[in-house]
A and B are shown apart, each in its own frame.
Chain A
Amino acid sequence: MPHHVKSQALSHLRICDFTGQLAGAGATKFMAAFGAEVIRIEDPSNHGRWDILRGMPPYVDDRRGPELGGPFNNHNVGKLGISLNIKTEKGRELFEQLVAISDCVTENFSSGVMRSWGYDYEALKQLKEDIIYVSNCGFGHSGPYEKFKTWGPIVQATSGLTMSSAIPDQPPAGWGYSYMDHTGAYFMAMAIMLAIHHRNRTGEGQYVDVAATEAALTLNGPVLLDYTVNGRPLRRDGYPDANHSVSPAMSPHNIYAAKPIPGSFDEAWIAIACRNDEDWHAMRDVLVADGCDWASNDAFGQLSGRMTAQEELDSNITEWCRRRDPFQSTEMLRAAGVPANPVQTPEQRIDQDVNSAESGLWPTIRQTEMGRVRVDGIPAHLSRTDWSMTRGAATLGEDNAYVYGDLLGLSQNEIDGLHEEGVI
């Protein structure tokens, strides 16, 4: 995998970047992997700690500190890092010079933070006529909840994603992580690139308001149309039922208990989905050959019968799945052409799945203080301008010499002076 050749896809673009955590940082990480020059700005007065992930666990070894946090490194791979105190006069001057040579300004502060510094879109436009300014916050920059605060789980709760992740007669299971921090970042990256393409066509910049809750709301479309067209809410008896499938109707379709793997966790699970009668007939033959006479019951022969008898079907299939570990049962079903997969643990999917290795998904990068560490890569390859990741997140001010010196033309003496004054 060509992970060491810098991509030329976006190398003509420079982003003046205030993003942090994952919801913002993930967007500019993607663009940096494709060669964009992302200049991440951090406040030296609190060692960049407005980003609460700086210094957070996990760690590669026993050392602790703001430069040693695994998540911060993971989300900021490939970006340049400078220190700049925007509350100082000189800090503002430097920021304004940087905006003037950038294509885009990005941030995911709470609504109103940039404005309170005097930098709304109109102000940024004064610094560079065609600047693109993209913000990403939970509820967006207008509306009744503009001042409400969010992080991933709150975005997921208020948009319907938490509720729609559940099994019947149980409270919401939700997402066991900030799915919408990842996915909010994806939509932010799309928005940045859409605005750049618009600028390429017209010469005009713009402001883009990304609200992660709204991006999330678009991810339950068929359920919403069932409500707006048929008047059928998802909040009804027996629903949500996320492991079964009614849209489209499939059965059997569930996550079943399997035999644990010795030496691993004391639970194991397998996902099985019969897309149609052909899949079921193939699965039935596997089951019958394994002594499950119940599977030949004609009542299960067609989808409508299986949908009606789902509970009985599930409990019979669980009995079969418990005979073997999920990898063994998966092999048997796959050989018959039936969709199945183990519910993989992180170790299984990262280190034992042939697909992870062949797609080069977990590149090893070097971060100045942490050393060599693996990170999330990009799940795609471009034939001409593929992505690369070689350096980890910048330590605080690691690229001050390049940005203030080479880009803004300051001498080393001037840079040292700014440092002493606490500006950078």
Chain B
Amino acid sequence: MTTTSNPLSMMALDDLRVLEIGDERGAWCGKLMADMGADVIKIEPPEGDPSRQYEPFVDDQPHHERSLYFWYYNTSKRSVVMDFDDQSNADAFMKLAQSADVIFDTATYDPVGRLGLDYHQIMSDNPGLIWCTITNFGFGSERDDEPHTDLTLAANGGFAWMNGYDDHSLPPVRGGGQQAYHTGSNYAFMTILTALLHRDATGLGQHINVNINASVNVTTEAGSYSWLVAHATVQRQTGRHAGVAPSMPSQIRCADGRYVNTGIPPRRPAEFGLVYRWLEEEGLLAELPEAALLLVGAELESFSLADVFSGDNEELLAIFGAGREAFDLLASKLTAYEFFTKAQNFGFQVGVIHSPEEALEDPHFVDRGMQVKVEHPELGREVVYPGAPYQLTKGSWGITRRPPLLGEHTDEVLAGLE
């Protein structure tokens, strides 16, 4: 089912006005709020947000209204153009700030400094205002004047060290999709919501200082706690968890050349029995003489994995080896998608390695409404966007309008200010 976004019902944040005064680092936070109904007003410089110039473009024709990067991160927002070097805008900015519930900025444009305003005055005139600043190293940090990008933040904060290949002559891998920026924005939204619930209870706003480098640092699972707890360092491995000690491969290439992640291969007696049955169903028992070991494994009383890892019990090792070989054989005969669905139906935690577009078209996600159509009347097109990251049953998610044209809402917003 493809759903068309429906802006008619109440949305969880449709009581909020939000000013977004920032660059690409905060745009994801703004989208998360806008798609929950907040009136997010993106204040752009006269030449437009820099990401309007980012590839890819519609039909590969560069234009500030055709950037798909800009489109994705700016759904449901309104756009107001304001030149912070023009002092005559000081009054309008003050009024906008007084009308806002939340302001978030990335310390890029500095409206307060450039328009000669007083931050403390703004906060005391609007005591419920929540003002969140998202910067690379935290507002006021001694490193905060350094220029950085998603790549250099991912390297500094720990993502890159953990991603890559068994072959360490190949470089560490950043991870696609601007995830350092996402992680900073995720923390910005979480802390804004925290401050909002406090405001619901007390009426009081506050300032929030979000640090992207720190956000990446605490989004590294064992990378951090292995060091914090035991002063041990994880090392990157192909397609699986970086480890203090090497682990077995968990990524197999299937008959169609695509990959699956095998997760945790058979390791319980019942699972050895199931993989035997699966081989039998596929008519592959004859091709794997070791399959008989799986039947032995299926009859075992419970055993400790420590016995397997110690390597002392040769029979156990052989049974585990047969389980892995069975997976390898099945993968060599099946497409990645077949391997995934059949394995899951046998109860194995296996995943097909989809490309993002394959995921968007996967029947499960289509069924759950992850394809959302948004009208772009200027281009005469209906565009499919990815849908909701969470399914609230009340006050739910929706794309309320296509991304704004540059300055599309300047007049209506400024006219609405008293």
Contact = CB atoms under 8 A, between A and B. Distances in A.
Interface in B166-208: 168, 170-177, 179, 182-184, 186-191, 193-198, 200-201, 204, 206-208
A46 interface: no
Contacts of A269: 155, 160, 171-172
B214 A223 contact: no
A380 B176 contact: no
A309 interface: no
B383 A210 contact: no
A233 B357 CA distance: 6
Interface residues of A, number: 158
Nearest to B133: A380
Contacts of A153: 239-241, 250, 261, 263, 351
Contacts of B214: 355-356, 359, 361, 377, 379-380
- Chain B's interface size range is 35 or more
Given A151-B263, A271-B151, A340-B152, A234 B141 contact: no
A234 B390 contact: no
B304 interface: no
A358 B141 contact: yes
A255 B198 contact: no
Interface stretch (B271-279, B314-322, B364-372): B364-372
Given A217-B360, A247-B55, A356 B391 contact: no
Most interface-central of A161, A175, A385 (chain B CB within 10 A):
A175
Contacts of B392: 191, 194-195, 198, 206, 208
B115 to A, nearest CB: 22
B230 A194 contact: no
A400 interface: no
B157 A349 contact: yes
Contacts of B348: 149
A7 to B, nearest CB: 9
B253 A271 contact: no
A254 interface: yes
A403 interface: no
Nearest to B193: A193
Contact of B355 (A164, A197, A222, A271): A164
Interface in B384-400: 384-395
B191 A380 contact: yes
Contact of A248 (B53, B359, B360): B53
B391 A157 contact: no
Contact of B224 (A187, A232, A253, A346): A346
B376 to A, nearest CB: 9
User: Binding site of A, secondary structure by majority: helix, strand, loop or mixed?
Assistant: mixed
A17 B194 CA distance: 18
B217 A383 contact: no
B230 A58 contact: yes
Contacts of A350: 217, 224, 227-228
User: Binding site of B, secondary structure by majority: helix, strand, loop or mixed?
Assistant: mixed
A163 B356 contact: yes
B155 A271 contact: yes
A201 B385 CA distance: 29
A9 interface: yes
B173 A197 contact: no
A341 B354 contact: no
B12 to A, nearest CB: 4
A139 interface: yes
B36 interface: yes
A214 B263 contact: no
A412 to B, nearest CB: 33
A229 interface: yes
A229 B238 CA distance: 32
Contacts of B410: none
Contacts of A147: 344
Given A356-B214, A359-B214, A170 B368 contact: no
A320 interface: no
A70 B215 contact: no
A206 B394 contact: yes
Contacts of A220: 176-177, 356, 386
B395 to A, nearest CB: 4
Contacts of A253: 149, 151
B24 to A, nearest CB: 8
Contact of A158 (B72, B170, B347, B354): B354
Most interface-central of B51, B244, B355 (chain A CB within 10 A):
B355
B330 to A, nearest CB: 17
A145 interface: yes
Contacts of A313: none
Contact of A346 (B149, B233, B363): B233
Interface stretch (A79-87, A235-243, A288-296): A235-243
B234 A346 contact: yes
A131 interface: no
Interface stretch (A90-98, A368-376, A414-422): A368-376
Contacts of A257: 171
Nearest to B144: A355
Nearest to A154: B351
Given A59-B230, A177-B221, A230-B60, A380 B383 contact: no
B240 A176 contact: yes
B296 interface: no
Contacts of A232: 56
Given A174-B251, A214-B370, A344-B161, A384 B206 contact: yes
Contacts of A179: 175, 179, 219, 221
A71 B229 CA distance: 9
Given A34-B194, A177-B222, A198 B388 contact: no
B179 A219 contact: yes
Contacts of B197: 9-10, 13, 193, 196-197, 200
A234 B389 CA distance: 21
A140 B370 CA distance: 12
A4 interface: no
Given A179-B221, A211-B390, 7 more contacts: A70-B226, A166-B173, A183-B183, A211-B391, A235-B355, A375-B228, A379-B210
- For the complex of A and B, the 8 pairs showing the least CB-CB separation, nearest first, are A160-B356, A379-B214, A164-B176, A157-B351, A176-B162, A221-B72, A271-B155, A176-B242
18 contacts: A58-B225, A58-B226, A74-B225, A149-B347, A149-B348, A156-B351, A162-B353, A163-B354, A176-B163, A187-B186, A197-B200, A209-B390, A218-B389, A228-B385, A230-B60, A240-B176, A339-B146, A379-B211
Interface of B: 10, 12-13, 15, 32, 36, 51, 53-56, 58-60, 68-69, 71-73, 137-138, 141-143, 146-149, 151-158, 160-165, 168, 170-177, 179, 182-184, 186-191, 193-198, 200-201, 204, 206-215, 217-234, 236-242, 244, 250-251, 253, 259-261, 263, 340, 344, 347-360, 362-365, 367-368, 370, 381, 383-395
